[in-house]
Amino acid sequence: MTLQCLCKQILNQSFSTEGLSHSIMVDLFLNRVLVENNWDQDELNTEREITGILENRILMLFFATAECEKCQQFVPVLNEFFKRLKDPAYIEYPKLLALIYISLDQSEEQQERLLKELHKKVLFLPFEDPYRKELQTMFEVKDVPTVVVIRPDCSVLSPNAVPEICHFGSDCFCNWQESAELIERSFMLNEEFENLNLRSATDPVRRLKYKAEDDKRKKRWWKLWEKGKGENEDQEEEDEAWNANKKEGDKGTWRRR
């Protein structure tokens, strides 16, 4: 099945534009097992897990083999690229990005060998899953290494981003993000939130609560300021009276001399 046929089939199954992006990106790997490249090799196989890791993200499909010398040379570059966009040690807010290794190796041992070189947050399909070959055909991958970059709506942003990654490094993600029209809520200003339908049903109640609390704080501050102002005025009057009495006393002493 080609990518166009898959997207058309998913579109026909979608009954609302509101859930369109979710359906396409999730259905690409729904009913599949994605494995995390960590020590335990945790499996993600439920719709909730797949949705949580792929929804509203730019997806990178890395096609490679352990026997390919160019692939071995590219892996450190890809790791550095991915690390600077996802690793909390390098960036405060990890980017909306997912990387899946699609092995075209001839044996599971070869696949494991390349996985050992890849970043621990990379996902991969099990070697026994024939979907690896289907993806190769779907995205017309004829050479390795190839990195297919996909928008959240499943449209191809770049058929092979390897040269771009090698030349621009992690900076090229900004162009991808702009092209995919991703919204990173971590960096949005309060004014921008006002124009988006991202608020919950209890938002008006919370806003009223915070407004009431702000009004109370302002009233308390005003009362304290008025009180302090009155005390300062009383003190000034006492000081003036004391100064006047002191001057009168000084005059009397001068006259006695």
pTM over 0.75: no
- Contact between 93 and 184 (Cβ < 8 Å): yes
Task: Report the chain's terminal Cα–Cα distance, integer Å.
Answer: 118
What's residue 106's pLDDT? 94
Please state which of the ranges 78-87, 96-105, 108-117, 216-225 shows the lowest mean pLDDT. 216-225
What's residue 217's pLDDT? 55
Backbone angles phi, psi at 54, to 5 degrees: -115, -25
Comparing 84 with 237, the larger pLDDT belongs to: 84
Q: Ramachandran region of residue 56, left (φ > 0), alpha (ψ -120 to 50) or beta?
A: left
Taking the C-alpha atoms of residue 41 and residue 124, their distance in angstroms, rounded to an integer, is: 10
pLDDT band at 220 (very low <50, low <70, confident <90, very high): low
pLDDT band at 110 (very low <50, low <70, confident <90, very high): very high
Helix intervals (H) in 55-104: 69-86
Q: Ramachandran region of residue 5, left (φ > 0), alpha (ψ -120 to 50) or beta?
A: alpha
Q: How many helices (H) and strands (E) does the chain have?
A: 10, 7
- Contact between 80 and 117 (Cβ < 8 Å): no
Tell me: pLDDT of 236 over 60: yes
- Contact between 54 and 26 (Cβ < 8 Å): yes
Is 165 buried (19+), middle (13-18) or exposed (0-12) by CB count in 10 A? buried
The mean pLDDT value for 4-21 works out to: 43
Taking the C-alpha atoms of residue 74 and residue 147, their distance in angstroms, rounded to an integer, is: 11
pLDDT band at 81 (very low <50, low <70, confident <90, very high): very high
Tell me: pLDDT of 122 over 50: yes
Q: Cβ neighbours of residue 148 under 8 Å, at least 6 residues apart?
A: 60, 61, 63, 139, 141, 156, 158, 159, 160, 161
